[in-house]
A and B are shown apart, each in its own frame.
Chain A
Amino acid sequence: MPEPARTAPAQRPRRARRGRNVMSSTGLYIATAVAAFLFLVPFYLIVRNALSTDAAITGENWQFFPTDLQWGNIGALFDDSSVPFARSLWNSTVVALLHTVGVLLICSLAGYGLARIPYKHANKIFYVVLGTLMVPTAVTFVPSFVLVSSLGWVDTYRGLIIPGLFSGFTCFLFRQYFLGFPKELEEAARVDGLGYWGAYWRVVVPNSLNFFAAIATITFINGWNAFLWPLVIGQDPSAWTVQVALSSYTTGQTVVFHQIFMATAISILPLLFVFLFLQRWLVQGIAQTGIKG
């Protein structure tokens, strides 16, 4: 599959070699290893606490390794009826997936229109889109909530998903990407008699899968990890996403440590899979665009 120039990983000229003696190289690795250790400690704590008893977690003596692993903690988490954790996992899956699909569809189309379809007011409209970048969506959550609640969308998937689909930033990124997309490919499609719509779906999108994958990965992560909006919209526990459910553990009357950490571990798992399998696109996408939510 031909790859547009912009998505190709940056060609890296071989760097001039520095720090060539063994001493500094060893120091380098020690420093990196120490930093890496510190970065991994929180992950270790999640797993350790998730598989411990509360007595072991809060015991007098710090236990580095749990003596006997409590695999039953997994089942206990889902048996607890005070927090509908399984339901919240399902909600998050639906919301994050539909959010990703919707954002990709709507923002990529708009980005392509702004970048490639000649229209005399296209520039003015582009400024209307850019204007929203100045206003962080988080700041408008109060009026957005008022609007969504007057539509009757509180506690619904519609309310959780639809208002987040119109990301000015993602549209902007797609526009920038399509501006750099090789025109020759579209011209070939034109010779074959395709319209804008046909050329977009049959030529542009299939040749941009790398960029779509990168944006999809980042959008999914942001969708899964979103907190403020789901907190505002998910008033009833049946509409909680996994982040809202996690947060509710800290406000509950009794704190069950192993339960909190098991829930945290399970909430992170899907994203770890995303990281393992899609890291190439993720790193590439971030390097290209430098985005987050």
Chain B
Amino acid sequence: MSATKTHDLARPAPAKASPARPRRGLRGSPTLNFWLFTGPFLIGLAIFIYAPILWSIWLSFFDARFTVTPDKFIGFDNYTYMLTNDDFVGSLGTFTVFAAFIVPTTWAFSLGLALLVNRLRFMRAFFRSVFFLPTACSYVAASLIWKMSIFSGVRFGLMNTVLGWFGIENIAWLADPNPPWYWLVIVSARLWLQSGFYMILFLAALQNIPGELYEAAAIDGAKPGWQTFRHITLPQLRATSTAVVLLLLIAAYQAFDEFFNLLSKTTWGRPPLVELYYKALGESQDYGAGSAGAVILTVLICVVTLFQGKIMGFGRGDESK
């Protein structure tokens, strides 16, 4: 009898376990299982994300040229050096110009595509696929096509050929910063690459707008077109728009691939990551200054992200589809 009792105490009968308490009746302690599930990820996070960040902060206070175990503490010298360095400050400017172009254009362009595709009655899947297809291209591949075939500065480039039909002289798209035609090349490449992706987001959001809203608007006498778009579609897309702008901004901060491949030999149009790449891994191997630059950039990104989140209310029930 007592044996049965002990048994019952140790293991409450599974059938009687209340559904409100899911932990009971499961084998092993939740704490142990929690670490079993999340442990590998958290260890990796500590080693490959948090440790580099801390190491970077530490290195940024040292004179760490050609070495990662420096012994010469120099305080904030690396920071003052980077913040007064024309190339680095210029790269922040490059980023600002780039973001100012690419964020609104991609937003408008991908929303436009989504509106077009959403209104199609035939071949919708086909056109959606066409606009989405460039997502399969890497930035490196797109850079090659843009640089070698479309915006090649010589006569056989597609753009110069087309302009030639109208009697316009060849333009050196990438080789000359005056006028800064290279922005057209960079922005158009990224527009082609990422619009289809954001179009999918907008399409999903458009299809979640209840049809009754449009019917109600029609009854109220709103003209289809601009009026319904302005007063129904746009407000309904607010959450998605916010997310898209945030994602675009983060993506713009990480700009590296196309700048590196399109403008490799030039000194202009270097965004922060390209600048840091050359600073830390180039000939000078200045890990201290490179780390200081990375810290500055990270702080900047955090501030902008938080600021934007405050303004646009990102994360407050937006993800509820």
Contacts and interface: CB of A to CB of B under 8 A. Distances in A.
A172 B120 CA distance: 35
A77 interface: no
Nearest to A174: B41
Interface string B33-77: 110111011101101111111011001000000001000000000
Contacts of B150: 41-42, 45
A119 B142 CA distance: 47
Nearest to B118: A15
B155 A60 contact: yes
B298 interface: yes
Interface in A144-188: 144-147, 149-150, 162-163, 165-166, 168, 171, 176, 183, 186-187
Nearest to B69: A150
A60 B48 CA distance: 52
A109 B34 CA distance: 10
Contacts of A187: 19, 22
A140 interface: yes
Contact of B27 (A128, A194, A272): A194
A168 B49 contact: yes
Q: Tell me the interface secondary structure of chain A in the complex.
A: helix
Contacts of B38: 109-110, 113-114, 125
Contacts of A277: none
Between B116, B132, B147, B149, the greatest number of chain A beta carbons within 10 A of the residue's beta carbon is seen for B149
A45 B158 contact: yes
Contacts of B80: none
Contact of B204 (A41, A132, A268, A287): A287
Nearest to A276: B129
Interface string A281-293: 0010011101011
A142 B280 contact: yes
A127 interface: no
Nearest to A60: B155
B73 to A, nearest CB: 18
Q: Tell me the interface secondary structure of chain B in the complex.
A: helix
B276 interface: yes
Interface range, B side:
35 or more
A93 B120 CA distance: 38
A101 interface: no
A260 interface: yes
Interface in A11-28: 12-16, 18-19, 25, 28
A142 B56 contact: yes
Interface string A114-141: 1001110010010011001011111111
Contact of A16 (B129, B208, B218): B218
Contact of B264 (A18, A149, A193, A250): A250
B87 interface: no
A221 B135 contact: yes
B139 A136 contact: no
Contacts of A260: 144, 148
Contact of B116 (A28, A138, A150, A165): A28
B9 interface: no
Given A225-B138, A292-B251, A39 B133 contact: yes
Given A261-B148, A275-B136, A119 B31 contact: yes
Interface of B: 14-15, 17, 19, 22-23, 25-28, 30-31, 33-34, 36-38, 40-42, 44-45, 47-53, 55-56, 59, 68, 113, 116-121, 127-150, 154-156, 158, 161, 192, 194, 196-197, 200-201, 203-204, 207-208, 210-212, 214-215, 218, 224-225, 228, 240, 243-244, 247, 250-251, 253-254, 256-257, 260-261, 264, 273, 276-277, 280-281, 287, 290-291, 294, 297-298, 301-302, 305, 319, 321
8 contacts: A25-B121, A132-B49, A136-B250, A166-B41, A190-B22, A193-B25, A227-B260, A287-B204
Given A187-B19, A290-B244, 12 more contacts: A35-B113, A109-B38, A118-B34, A119-B34, A176-B319, A190-B26, A196-B26, A228-B257, A243-B140, A255-B148, A264-B144, A275-B129
